[in-house]
Amino acid sequence: MSDFFDNWVVQVRKGVIELCILRTLAVRERYGYELVKELSEVPGLGLTEGTLYPLLSRLRVAGLVSTRLEESASGPARKYYALTPEGRRTLKTMNAYIETMHDSAQKVGGAE
C-alpha cells in the first residue's frame, strides 16, 4: 500500500478507536486489562495494547469515562472504567454522526 493510504488509515482509526472504547463501555464497565485485551483483538483497528491507555486517560480527563479501583483476589487492585452520563450522551451523538457519515459516504459517487 502507499504511504497515502497508511496515513489515511491512521486518521480514520483515531476517531474510530475512541468510538469503539465508548461503545464497549456502554455495554458494561470493564477493568483496564480486560478492555485492552478485548479491543486489541478487534480486527481492523490495528490497536496495540499500549496505545489504549493514553486514550482512556484522555477520555477520563474529558469526563466521558470514570474510573474506580476494586480489590482483586488474584492480584493488585483493578481499575474499572465506566461511561459517565456525559460519555453516554457523547456516544449517542457520535453514533448518529458516524452513521450519517457512513451513509453519506456510501451515497457519494455510488458504491463500487
Partner 1 sequence: MTSWTTPARDFLEERLRAHRRRFEADGAEADEVMSDLREHVMQEAAAQGLTVVTEVDVRRLLARVDPMLLEEPTGGESGDGTGAIADPAPPTFPGVPSDPPRSGFQRTSVEILLGLFGVLLPLGTIGLEWTQRLSALELTDPIPTPFHGILLLLVPAVYALGLWFRFRRPGSAPGFYPWLLAVALGVSGAYAAAFAPAYPVALVGVLYFGLGLIPLTPLLAWIVGWILWRRARIEARENGHPWPRWAWVLSWGVVAALGLAALPGFLTEELIRTAVHGDSQGERFQAIQRLRSWGDSDVLLRACYGRRVSIWDNLLDRRPAAAEAVQQVYFQVTGQPFNAVRPPLNQQWGVGRQVLSDFEWDRSLGGETVAGQVSGLSLRSSRLDGQVSVPDGWEYVEWTLEFQNDNDSRQREARAEIQLPPGGVVSRVTLWVHDEEREAAFAGRGETRAAYQQVAVAQRRDPILVTTSGPDRVLMQCFPIEPRGGTMKVRLGITAPLLPVGTGELECTWPRFTERNFRIDPALEHHLWLEGGQAPARVPSGAFAEASKPEVLRSRLKQSLVSDGFDPIAFAVDPAPRPSAWAVDDRSTPTGWVRQTLVDRPPLAPGRLAIVVDGGVDGREAWEAIRKGLGASTARGDLRVYVASDGVHRVAEVLEGPYRAATNPMDRFVWNSPPFVGGQDPIPALEEAWTWVTGSQDGRVLWIHGPVPVLLGDTASWLQSMDRLGDRRASLIDFELRPGPNLVTKGLGSRPALQVWPRIGGLEADLARCLDRMGGVQGGREWRRERVGTAPDVEARGSRHLVRLWARDHILDLAGQRRVADAVEWAGRWQLVTPVSGAVVLETRAQYAAAGLKPVDPLTTPQVVPEPQTWMLMALGLGLLAVIGRHRGRNGAGGSV
The contact set with partner 1 (CB under 8 A) reads 32-33, 36, 48-51, 53-58, 60-61, 75-76, 79
* CA atoms in the 13 A half-sphere facing the CB of 55: 20
- Shortest Å distance, C-beta 64 to partner 1: 12
**How many residues are listed for the chain in this entry?**
112
Taking 3-state DSSP, the helix, strand and coil percentages for the chain, each rounded to the nearest 5, stand at 60, 15, 20
- Shortest Å distance, C-beta 80 to partner 1: 12
The residue among 57 and 106 lying less far from partner 1, judged by its C-beta, is: 57
